[in-house]
Amino acid sequence: MKKQIFWLASYPKSGNTLLRFILISLFFTKDGIFNFKNSKYISQFENTINIIRNKKIFGSDFENIGNINIFYKYILELQSKDSLGFKEDFIFLKTHSGLFKINENPFTVINNTRGIIYILRDPRDVSISWSKHNGVTIDKSIEFMNNDYSNYMWPSLAKDKNLFTEKTNPRTLMSSWEKNVLSWTSLKWDVPILILKYEDLVYDKLNTVKKIVDFFKNNYNFKFDNLKIKLNNIIKSTEFKILKRYEEKNGFLEATEHNQFFSVGKKNQWKKILSENQIKKIEEKSKELMNKYDYK
């Protein structure tokens, strides 16, 4: 297989969608102005459309792909150019999967991977956003985030929300926040990787977007026309308040029945919301990694 995928990886509610919008504006527009109509240019690897299009890959096992062990038998086949259905030289794919193996079947391999951008966020804030997104208590959210074996059902990103039954809805292994981050950021592959923080993307967006541009310039010799204009328009058109206002008016595919997708978007919410016991549970699990990325 050819190295064709740029993975945009993260734990959920860590800024992956904002990263995707920035890359869409950078690569797929002339002026850098983000428009929700362009969201199709970078999709999430885990979606039902991808599965239905490639149903033949699974054969009789399709009825049992809700079993994560069976699903991972075929996951690399879903990453071929034919299966992904793109014509260009490369593709960006968003994912919340950890880079793990199940029964020696890996989520992805180096031969599929052209590059990686991993974005992480303070897990104490993630616990709040994940709670709202799924309509569960913060305690349940923390329990899920601390579980090394946590897996999550693929979202049904299609018009027909009933394409899959509980039995045939694939699951992805996210693991704990700590293990998810480590699985991607401690890789020994000879593949360029850029590690970003959600807090920088929101509060120091210009410099962070410049890091993204440099990543593609320095590692892949990509050239960007009208870069100064693009950067200015990217900053303006991907402001959180603009994205939130659009969702309030038009809705957003990745929102859930429990909460709108673009909800608060601020850092350090945990200081006013989490109890001492909740903070302790998160920090005891991930203290070393949190310290590494200055989440103190």
Kindly list the distances between the CA atom of residue 97 and the CA atoms of 33, 48, 77, 80, 203, in Å, as whole numbers in the listed order.
Answer: 29, 15, 16, 18, 26
User: Residue 24's CB: how many other CB atoms inside 10 A?
Assistant: 22
Task: Give the pair of three-digit tokens for residue 140.
Answer: 């349940």
b/e sequence 148-179, b meaning 16+ C-beta within 10 Å: eebbeebbbbbeeeeebeeebbbbbbbbbbbb
Of 125, 113, 178, residue with least CA distance to 150: 178
Reading the block at residue 49, the tokens are 């459309």
Give the C-alpha separation, 113 to 90, whole Å: 10
**Contact in structure between 43 and 146 (CB atoms under 8 Å):** no
The full set of domains in the chain, from first to last, is 5-124+148-249 (3.40.50)
Global pTM value: 0.90
- Rounded-to-integer distance, Cα 65 and Cα 19, Å: 30
Could you list the pLDDT tens digit for every one of the 296 residues in the chain? Answer: 479 999 999 999 999 988 998 999 999 999 999 887 888 899 889 877 788 889 999 999 998 888 999 999 999 999 999 999 888 889 999 999 999 999 999 999 999 999 999 999 999 999 999 998 888 999 999 999 999 999 987 765 555 555 577 677 788 899 999 999 999 999 999 999 999 999 999 899 999 999 999 999 999 999 998 899 999 999 888 887 767 665 655 544 444 444 444 555 678 999 999 999 999 999 999 999 999 999 98
